[in-house]
């Protein structure tokens, strides 16, 4: 654990907190968490990006106000209308010094290109900016372009980043929304915003060497049409220098332009569009992402329907990734439009008796779950092979294509690892099992019909938003603990919890906040 103390200088301290009366920030897995006691007595903290931290497993390790004992007392604090649908998740930053005073802020990115800062206490807009669709139409047709991205807060807590519909990611001061320009900003993430969609959340991580990066992934719009290539743009937050890794024609580390312009790639698809975009594993110090449909032809740098890893700076090895996993039935998945990459890998903590120390589960549109070794994706310790998963892949217990990011939790009572998977058909809880040979598998402990978006878990309570219902669930039994039936329709919107308040957006362009009575 690292501690950062703010006054007029920065220090890095290992060990215990020994100073009182200062603002302290603790570093957990790439996330700076402010530690100041709030009025409830609980320590205030931040939710800086999609699903809380760079692993994007939806596990809020800091919540202490809402619990399984009082969650039934949740009630609506407010519901406000936004200037557009925020089809993702908010980010949250506490104790921001604004011209209106010190306040806790929510940041949301809307489909029509707004970045909005909301007073978390009452839902009032503090500032907003927009880079809208302008004259861009999807595939140069008749529907305006849009995004389903989510914002991310800088590790120094001074800036927030948001995807713009102009093909750039933009940097804003958290206090007043002033855009920062120069030093590379705004940063290009696609030259083809009419063909390439910013679907995933922005992600930030700090690697083992202390370098912080912002990740922007791109795919295609609904219908898989147009000249697009899935890619990830990695931006060094200190220097503004970026690297591009293309899932098609990966030897070309540039932003492609639309044909017949150059440079371009003759292959299309292989979109990177899962909700978190990338995930970071601190154990391997690598980033991981999964691709959708497209050709798998590693000899030509094409990585369709695959999981692959890169170094934190977004680079690979010899024009390809560091490692990769591709199902043996990748051709079938491609032809049947059953994207492997409808989710990103979800990291599962493992006990000492597990022979796989870097375990993850991967869902897909084929309604299957696969276990993979993040330290050896292919089973050959290098990319370009097919197969290599741990055991056989198995059916999603409740059925349904997996368009959401699974949540992962370690039960503090017995230290068992759990995975929670939501689909349009329901929700399931799976528990990690290790056999006598040390081989891991997932066992279904419960399932129900509570459909929903990406679940989160905080202080022993599982939360999932479905159309017309926000629910709290006992993670070990699947029992319903609380429900609000007044929520609007849900697409990919997912909740966050911060300092005793639950927040969720919906397809009615509403933001709803819930607190304890």
pLDDT in tens, 318-365: 999 999 999 999 999 999 999 999 999 999 999 999 999 999 999 999
- Tell me how far apart the 2 most distant CA atoms of the chain are, in Å: 63
Report the sign of the C-alpha dihedral through residues 116, 121, 122, 124, in that order.
negative
Residue 13 pLDDT > 90, yes or no? no
Residue 149 contacts residue 202 (beta carbons within 8 Å): yes
Residue 81 pLDDT > 50, yes or no? yes
Q: Look at residue 172 in the predicted model and tell me its pLDDT.
A: 98
Q: Look at residue 34 in the predicted model and tell me its pLDDT.
A: 42
Weakest mean pLDDT among 3-12, 111-120, 452-461: 3-12
Task: List Cβ neighbours of 60 (8 Å cut-off, separation of 6 or more).
Answer: 47, 52, 456, 457, 458, 459, 496, 497, 498
pLDDT in tens, 229-285: 999 999 999 999 999 999 999 999 999 999 999 999 999 889 999 999 999 999 999
pTM of the model: 0.92
Nearest to 191 by CA among 255, 269, 271, 270: 255
The residue extents of the domains of the chain are: 35-516
Q: Look at residue 43 in the predicted model and tell me its pLDDT.
A: 76
Name the phi and psi angles at 135, rounded to 5. Answer: -95, 0
pLDDT in tens, 376-403: 999 999 999 999 999 989 999 999 999 9
Residue 79 contacts residue 113 (beta carbons within 8 Å): no
pLDDT in tens, 188-239: 999 999 999 999 999 999 999 999 999 999 999 988 889 999 999 999 999 9
Mean pLDDT of the chain: 92
Weakest mean pLDDT among 28-32, 71-75, 251-255: 28-32
pLDDT in tens, 136-156: 999 999 999 999 999 999 999
35-516 in CATH: which number? 2.140.10.10
Euclidean distance between CA atoms 192 and 136, whole angstroms: 9
How does residue 8 score in pLDDT terms, banded at 50, 70 and 90?
very low
Euclidean distance between CA atoms 77 and 492, whole angstroms: 23
Angle at 130 between CA 125 and CA 132, to 5 degrees: 140
Nearest to 221 by CA among 109, 141, 304, 151: 141
Q: Look at residue 392 in the predicted model and tell me its pLDDT.
A: 86
Euclidean distance between CA atoms 178 and 156, whole angstroms: 16
Name the phi and psi angles at 341, rounded to 5. Answer: -85, 30
Weakest mean pLDDT among 2-6, 48-52, 220-224, 512-516: 2-6
Q: Look at residue 223 in the predicted model and tell me its pLDDT.
A: 86
pLDDT in tens, 18-27: 333 334 444 4
Residue 94 contacts residue 34 (beta carbons within 8 Å): yes
Weakest mean pLDDT among 12-26, 121-135, 326-340, 481-495: 12-26
Euclidean distance between CA atoms 455 and 496, whole angstroms: 9
Residue 309 contacts residue 280 (beta carbons within 8 Å): no
Residue 37 pLDDT > 80, yes or no? no
Q: Look at residue 42 in the predicted model and tell me its pLDDT.
A: 61
């Amino acid at each position: 654990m690292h501690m950062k103390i703010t006054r007029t200088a920065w220090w890095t301290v290992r060990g215990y907190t020994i100073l009182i009366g200062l603002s302290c920030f603790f570093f957990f897995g790439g996330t700076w968490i402010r530690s100041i006691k709030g009025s409830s007595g609980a320590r205030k903290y931040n939710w800086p990006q999609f699903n809380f931290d760079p692993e994007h497993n939806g596990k809020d390790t800091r919540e202490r106000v809402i619990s399984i004992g009082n969650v039934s007392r949740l009630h609506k604090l407010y519901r406000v209308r936004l200037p557009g649908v925020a089809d993702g998740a908010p980010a949250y930053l506490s104790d921001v010094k604004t011209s209106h005073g010190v306040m806790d802020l929510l940041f949301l990115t809307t489909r029509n290109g707004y970045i909005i800062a909301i007073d978390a206490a009452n839902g009032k807009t503090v500032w907003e900016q927009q880079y809208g669709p302008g004259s861009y139409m999807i595939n140069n047709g008749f529907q305006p372009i849009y995004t389903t991205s989510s914002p991310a807060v800088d590790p120094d807590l001074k800036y927030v980043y948001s995807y713009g519909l102009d093909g750039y990611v933009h940097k804003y001061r958290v206090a007043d929304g002033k855009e920062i320009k120069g030093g590379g900003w705004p940063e290009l993430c696609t030259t083809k915003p009419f063909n390439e969609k910013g679907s995933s959340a922005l992600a930030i991580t700090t690697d083992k060497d202390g370098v912080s990066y912002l990740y922007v992934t791109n795919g295609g719009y609904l219908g898989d049409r147009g000249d697009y290539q899935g890619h990830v743009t990695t931006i060094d937050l200190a220097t503004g220098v970026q690297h591009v890794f293309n899932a098609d024609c990966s030897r070309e580390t540039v932003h492609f332009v639309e044909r017949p312009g150059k440079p371009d790639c003759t292959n299309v698809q292989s979109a990177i569009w899962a909700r978190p975009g990338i995930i970071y594993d601190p154990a391997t110090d690598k980033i991981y992402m999964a691709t959708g449909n497209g050709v798998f032809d590693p000899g030509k740098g094409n990585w369709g329907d695959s999981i692959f890893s890169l170094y934190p700076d977004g680079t690979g090895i010899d024009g390809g990734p560091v490692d990769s996993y591709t199902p043996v039935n990748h051709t079938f998945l491609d032809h049947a439009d059953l994207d492997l990459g409808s989710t990103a890998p979800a990291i599962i903590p493992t006990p000492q008796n597990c022979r796989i120390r870097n375990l993850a589960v991967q869902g897909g549109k084929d309604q299957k779950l696969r276990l993979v070794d993040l330290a050896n994706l292919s089973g050959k310790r290098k990319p370009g092979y097919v197969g290599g998963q741990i055991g056989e892949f198995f059916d999603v217990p409740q059925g349904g294509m997996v368009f959401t990011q699974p949540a992962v939790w370690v039960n503090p009572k017995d230290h068992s690892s759990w995975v929670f998977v939501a689909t349009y058909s329901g929700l399931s809880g799976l528990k990690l099992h290790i056999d006598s040979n040390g081989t891991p598998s997932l066992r279904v402990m419960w399932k129900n019909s509570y459909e929903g978006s990406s679940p989160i878990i905080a202080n022993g309570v599982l939360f999932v938003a479905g159309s017309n219902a926000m629910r709290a669930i006992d993670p070990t039994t699947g029992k319903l603990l609380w429900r609000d039936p007044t929520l609007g329709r849900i697409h990919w919107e997912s909740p966050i919890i911060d300092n005793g308040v639950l927040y969720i957006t919906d397809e009615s362009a509403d933001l709803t906040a819930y607190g304890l009575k």
